[in-house]
Structure 1
Amino acid sequence: MKKRVKIVLLLLSTSGYAWGCTLSGPSAQLSVIIPPLTVQRDLPIGTVIWQQTVNAPLLELAGECGDESETRANLVGNDSGILSGRNPVYNTGVPGIGYAVATGPEFSDGWPAAKDKTASVNTLSLRLVVTGTVSSGVLDAGEYARRLIDGQTAQQLMVQTSVPLTRLACELNDSRDRVVPLGAVLRTGFTGPGSTQGEQVFQLGLTCDAGTQVNIQFDGEADNSGTPGVLALLNHGESGIASGIGVQLLYHQTPIALGERLPLETAPAGVRTYPFTARYYQTQPKVTSGDANAVATFNLTYQ
């Protein structure tokens, strides 16, 4: 005889048996004042350019408030796709500048709050973050975040006044392409590895905004001797090309490390001139005659 077992599946709506999380006390409007800001043009993405933490009154909540879906923030703007700590960065109206909001000053936790922090967080932090190439502009005043408790506004984070934001940079005054003639030198003028000839100074002129942090980087094929700042000759190893030497670049008589950013100065406003030196540098015990040309690219950044 077969026994039949009847299985009854009882579906219950959990919301029908749980107390909702509601705001039982007053809501709060939290305000920050951001001063006028200056920003270096080429700061890396993720750089924090300003941050402030404000104290918030403890929320008075009723019901069961453990579910983080019941306490969340609406941020104004579009998600930039990058994070600051664990917090999403939202775009502002200024190209290259976004903002993030977090509970607590260290940006280790964000909205929505963790379950054990739903009703205990009493600080909110706003930070401005670089999201791309920065442009000058004005950061609008108004609401930047709103914390909701079961659909009710519990806290608003407001920027009180509009904020002028100025990008700092320099403009190159002359041609981007430079030819530095080192001239013809005698092979016999090289006396051993480390000896030099044909030294020539060349200058880069810039017009800068006050406070711009000027950096330069030279890139090119390094000579296989490994001597700092020495470029390999074009077409080295081929017939008709000199050997045993390279071309060295210097700034204030100090060899420039190829492929590394070199800070020049924090510039005042106006025209600035930076002197560099190029020269032939003996890299091997034996030098042979021939053409001796080298090429490098330079990249100016402001960060």
Structure 2
Amino acid sequence: MTSITARGCNVTTPSVGVTLPSVSLSSPASTGAVAGNTPFSLGLNCSAGTLVNLTLTDATTPSNTSNVLTLGSGATASGVGTQIPNGMTPIVYGADSSAAGNNNQWFAGTANGGPMTLPLNVRYIRTANPITPGKVAGLATFTLSYQ
């Protein structure tokens, strides 16, 4: 008798709110500069050997394939956005799809079995001059793909 089992994960942090620190108008100092790096993580509980792939999607502008999250509902600032780097490299947004090889999908790791944490950061990025002070808000979703 042969047994077929599926590998996969359960999400243990389906919603993560991140509050970035307040920064001055001079930080980030120039277009493309970043400030206010703030850690957060996504939690999973996975079967051993699961190859976990992830796509982040800009919930405000789902067609966004840049590395800057669109300012969302309630945002009043301008000239600034947010990025979510994986290590030192900003994640590029892609379509909300679990298909293998989805545009801008990235390999998050191989599960050992049990709890798995995907550590990430969010930060401000200056996108234009001048910056208009105000509230910065954005919303991204994540889609997992097991391969």
Report the TM-score range of the alignment, normalised by the length of the smaller protein: 0.7 to 0.9
Q: What is the aligned partner in structure 1 of residue 31 from structure 2? A: 193
State the structure with bigger RCO (CA 8 A, min sep 6), 1 or 2: 2
Provide the C-alpha distance between the structure 1 equivalents of 2:33 and 2:12, rounded to a whole number of angstroms: 34
Q: What is the aligned partner in structure 2 of residue 245 from structure 1? A: 80
Q: Does 2:9 align with 1:170?
A: yes
Provide the C-alpha distance between the structure 1 equivalents of 2:136 and 2:34, rounded to a whole number of angstroms: 13
Provide the C-alpha distance between the structure 2 equivalents of 1:282 and 1:216, rounded to a whole number of angstroms: 26
1:275-294 to 2 correspondence within 5 Å? 275-294=119-138
Provide the C-alpha distance between the structure 2 equivalents of 1:256 and 1:183, rounded to a whole number of angstroms: 21
Deviation, structure 1 residue 266: 2.0
**Aligned partner (choices 114, 121, 138) of residue 270 of structure 1:** 114
Provide the C-alpha distance between the structure 1 equivalents of 2:122 and 2:7, rounded to a whole number of angstroms: 30
Deviation, structure 1 residue 270: 2.2
Deviation, structure 1 residue 188: 2.1
Q: Is the 8 A contact 2:77 2:133 kept in 1?
A: yes
Q: Does 2:90 align with 1:255?
A: yes
Deviation, structure 1 residue 235: 4.5
Q: Which amino acid aligns with 1:168?
A: R
Distance verdict in 2 for CA 1:227–1:211, change over 3 Å? closer
Q: Which amino acid aligns with 1:268?
A: N
CA RMSD, aligned part only? 2.0
Q: Greater helix percent: which structure?
A: 1
Q: Deviations over 1:61-117 (max 9, x none)?
A: xxxxxxxxxxxxxxxxxxxxxxxxxxxxxxxxxxxxxxxxxxxxxxxxxxxxxxxxx
1:144-223 to 2 correspondence within 5 Å? 162-174=1-13, 176-220=14-58, 221=60
Q: Is the 8 A contact 2:16 2:42 kept in 1?
A: no
Provide the C-alpha distance between the structure 2 equivalents of 1:294 and 1:227, rounded to a whole number of angstroms: 15
Q: What is the aligned partner in structure 1 of residue 98 from structure 2? A: none
Q: Which runs of 4+ in 1 moved over 6 A?
A: none
Q: Greater strand percent: which structure?
A: 1
Give structure 1 stretches of 5+ with no counterpart: 1-161
Q: Deviations over 1:225-271 (max 9, x none)?
A: x89421111248xxx71111111011112111101211111222222
TM-score w.r.t. the length of structure 1 is 0.42
Q: Is the 8 A contact 1:172 1:206 kept in 2?
A: yes
Q: Is the 8 A contact 2:65 2:93 kept in 1?
A: no
Provide the C-alpha distance between the structure 2 equivalents of 1:234 and 1:210, rounded to a whole number of angstroms: 37
Identity %: 34
